[in-house]
Amino acid sequence: MPLQLLWLRSDLRSRDNTALHAALAAGPTLALYLITPKQWQAHQDAPCKVDFWRRNLAELSTSLAALNIPLLIGQLDDWQAVPDFLSALCHRHNIRAVHVNEEYGVNETRRDQAVQAALAAQGIPLHRYLDQLFFAPGSLLNKSGGYFQVYSQFRKVCHARLAAELPRVLPEPTPQAPLKIASDPLPESISGFAVPDARLQSYWPAGEQAAAQRLEGFVEEHLAFYQAERDFPARRGTSKLSAYLVAGVLSPRQCLQAALRLSEGRFTTDNPGLITWIDELLWREFYRHILHAHPRLSMGRAFKADTEALAWREAPEELAAWQQGRTGLPIVDAAMRCLLATGWMHNRLRMIVAMFLSKNLLIDWREGERWFMQHLIDGDLAQNNGGWQWSASTGTDAVPYFRLFNPITQSEKFDPEGRFIRQWLPELAGLNNKDIHNPSALGGLFGLADYPRPMVDLAKSRERALRAFQGLSKG
């Protein structure tokens, strides 16, 4: 009996899954997931992220079983082997067509092109669907016919499109007739990736139900106040859904549909919390469009070509201190230690630590981008690259080079009571709400042997960064 093959990638859900819906509509369906450890290592994927994929895959296998969809597991080194593997699998199971949701990035594009060519040689089509985004790359262009490079302009067009027609969330899939094919067992761990501790795993429960509960709780309890609360890391002001979006356990459409309950299902800009959160979803959209339009961003290149000439400092000891949260700047150190312990960092803190590394320390933003990918459970090439290049003033629509966040004033503004700092820097817990942001200001009274003094003078390092960027225009 001819079958349809659903090739799962970053879409680990059974609900509102475009490729799954299309495959089931076309005929009896078999699912496949490929484990490719060396490819993930080449992409700098974090062990906690790989473990999160594995745990969500286990939950998804149960959902697929309820739909009578067998799940096969392929284990390959990297994506070079995928075309031959899929060709053999399709021949073995009499596959009529393969269905996938689009992914973005140079390696992903090359992989899918190679697979498409290999399958075409057997007369098997590869059907590719828009799923991670509201709008396909290339469908939103500026007046000159090019991709938007300024977020506010991109956002305006997205708002107009969403106001005219909202993307549809697909109905629940109906179980198919059982197939005489057994699902493959799932691995307990992935070769080359350490299993994170139970505490970290507990921050990120796996599965669509857990993701839906987190989404529901955020919408019901926090979304209305999102604009006012989102910049304060000690408060529950953000959704913490990014890991689920990156793994495809939730779709952007599901998030939009849930959020629009605040406006009775209508897209409106009247509710500040609602529109601010939707705009964050659109930032994700924007960076993926940029990544698709400019493949060099997948290759470690700066968006602004002239910034490749920046005289970045080689300072391995300072880089290591930043990585481990030993800079002597409490908000920076608390953020970095939070990342190591939880696999996640609040967005305001991501900007603060990124500017500190790329501006105050004048260390190449690519070092920070790499460290984040190696530790983030929500590590995503487009978002991570876009955020780092924004902070380093090398990217599209980036912050002007002369704008540097002062970590002390940022700390005083967004963690005024020092609650976040105390959570992650217990050695500073005894300081009052003023001194905790800048313990070195205590001078000789600062007798905390377990906490370092600031590794850099903020004013002097700011001037050093300005001179480096100004030198580009003179060069």
Q: How far is CA 87 from CA 12, 69, 76, 429, in A?
A: 23, 20, 14, 59
Does residue 193 fall inside a structural domain? no
Provide the CATH number for the domain around residue 253. Answer: 1.25.40.80
pLDDT at position 296: 95
**Out of 142-151, 234-243, 247-256, 263-272, least confident range:** 263-272
- Identify whether 365 is a catalytic site residue: yes
- Of 262, 293, 324, which residue sits at a domain end? 293
Q: Rounded to the nearest 5 degrees, what angle is found at the Cα of 300, between the Cα atoms of 295 and 278?
A: 65
Q: Domain of residue 86: give its range.
A: 3-129
pLDDT at position 156: 96
Confidence band, pLDDT 50/70/90 cuts, at residue 474: low
Residues 434 and 432: their CA atoms lie apart, in Å, by 5
The rounded Cα 2 to chain-centroid distance in angstroms is: 37
pLDDT per residue as tens digits for the range 282-328:
999 999 999 999 999 999 999 999 999 999 999 999 999 999 999 99
Does residue 249 fall inside a structural domain? yes
**Out of 22-26, 293-297, 401-405, 434-438, least confident range:** 401-405
Residues 268 and 338 in one domain: no
Does residue 185 fall inside a structural domain? no
- Identify whether 79 is a catalytic site residue: no
Residues 156 and 63 in one domain: no
Does residue 334 fall inside a structural domain? yes
pLDDT at 248 over 70: yes
Residues 30 and 121 in one domain: yes
pLDDT at 183 over 80: yes
CB atoms within 10 A of CB 238: 21
Confidence band, pLDDT 50/70/90 cuts, at residue 444: low
Does residue 98 fall inside a structural domain? yes
Q: Which of 68, 107, 312, 412 is catalytic?
A: 312
Residues 80 and 155 in one domain: no
- Provide DSSP, 287-355: HHHHHHH-GGGGGT--SSGGGGG------HHHHHHHHHT-SS-HHHHHHHHHHHHHS---HHHHHHHHH
pLDDT at position 338: 98
Q: Are 379 and 373 in contact (CB under 8 A)?
A: yes
- Of 235, 258, 293, which residue sits at a domain end? 293
- Rg, C-alpha atoms of the chain: 23
Residues 147 and 122 in one domain: no
- Identify whether 277 is a catalytic site residue: no
Beta bridge partners of 34: 74
Confidence band, pLDDT 50/70/90 cuts, at residue 473: low
pLDDT at 79 over 60: yes
Residues 261 and 324 in one domain: no
Q: Which of 388, 390, 424, 438 is catalytic?
A: 388
> 392 CB contacts (<8 Å, ≥6 apart)?
307, 354, 355, 358, 359, 365, 398
- Identify whether 344 is a catalytic site residue: no
Q: Both tokens of residue 259? A: 């959020």
* One-letter identity of residue 286: F
Does residue 300 fall inside a structural domain? no
Q: Both tokens of residue 109? A: 């594009």
pLDDT per residue as tens digits for the range 99-127:
999 999 999 999 999 999 999 999 999 99
pLDDT at 150 over 70: yes
Tell me the three state secondary structure of residue 93: helix
pLDDT at position 380: 97
Does residue 93 fall inside a structural domain? yes
CA atoms within 13 A on the CB side of 58: 11
Q: Which of 59, 280, 285, 367 is catalytic?
A: 280
Confidence band, pLDDT 50/70/90 cuts, at residue 401: confident
pLDDT at position 475: 52
Provide the CATH number for the domain around residue 414. Answer: 1.10.579.10
Instruction: Return the closest-CA partner of residue 53 out of 202, 321, 329, 244.
Output: 244
Residues 404 and 423 in one domain: yes
* One-letter identity of residue 48: C
Provide the CATH number for the domain around residue 125. Answer: 3.40.50.620
- Of 293, 324, 345, which residue sits at a domain end? 293
Q: Both tokens of residue 430? A: 């005894």
Q: Which of 107, 347, 406, 433 is catalytic?
A: 347
pLDDT at 269 over 90: no
Does residue 241 fall inside a structural domain? yes
pLDDT at position 107: 96
Residues 332 and 418 in one domain: yes
Q: Which of 7, 283, 344, 390 is catalytic?
A: 283
Tell me the three state secondary structure of residue 97: strand
Residues 83 and 218 in one domain: no
Mean confidence (pLDDT) of the chain: 95
pLDDT at position 139: 96
Confidence band, pLDDT 50/70/90 cuts, at residue 54: very high
- Phi and psi torsions of 356, nearest 5°: -60, -45
DSSP state of 141: B
Q: Which of 53, 365, 390, 424 is catalytic?
A: 365
- State the total domains in the chain: 3
Instruction: Return the closest-CA partner of residue 361 out of 301, 303, 317.
Output: 317
Residues 389 and 257 in one domain: no
Residues 235 and 325 in one domain: no
As a whole number, mean pLDDT of residues 235-254 equals 97
Residues 138 and 125 in one domain: no
